[in-house]
Structure 1
Amino acid sequence: MTGERQAAGPEAEGIGFHLGERAVQDLYGLGERMASIGAQVFMTALPDPFRLFFMDLEFLVVASVDGQGLPWASLLAGPPGFIASPDPRVLSILGAVPAGDPLAANLQPGAALGLLGIDLATRRRIRVNGRVLALDRDGAPRIDLLVDQCFGNCPRYIRPRQAVPGRGGMDLAPAVVSQAAPDPRAREMIAQADTIFVASAADTRVEGRAAGADASHRGGPAGFVAVDEAGVITVPDYAGNRYFNTLGNMVLRPAAGLLVPDFATGDLLTIAGDVEIVWQGPELARHPGAERLWRLRPRRVVHLAGAWRARLRETGGRVVGLGPDGRPG
Structure 2
Amino acid sequence: MKSIIRNDWSKAEIREIYHKPIFDLMYEAQSIHREFHKSSEVQVCTLLSVKTGGCKEDCSYCSQSAKYTTNVKPQKLMPTDEVLQKAKQAKENGSTRFCMGAAWREARDNRDFDRVLDMVSEINGMGMEVCATLGLLNEEQAQKLKEAGLYAYNHNIDTSREYYDKVITTRTFDDRIETIKNAQKAKISVCSGGIIGLGETEEDRISMLFTLSNLPEHPESVPVNALVAIEGTPMEGNDRVPVWDMIRMISTARILMPKAMVRLSAGRNEMPVSEQALCFMAGANSIFAGDELLTTPNPAEDKDKAMFDLLNLVPRPAYKGAAADKFEQVPEKV
On whether the aligned pair clears a TM of 0.5, the verdict is: no
Higher-RCO chain (CA-CA 8 Å, sequence separation at least 6) = 2
What TM-score range do you get, normalising by the shorter chain? under 0.3
- TM-score, structure 1 as length reference: 0.27
TM-score, length basis structure 2: 0.27
Structure showing the higher strand proportion among its residues? 1
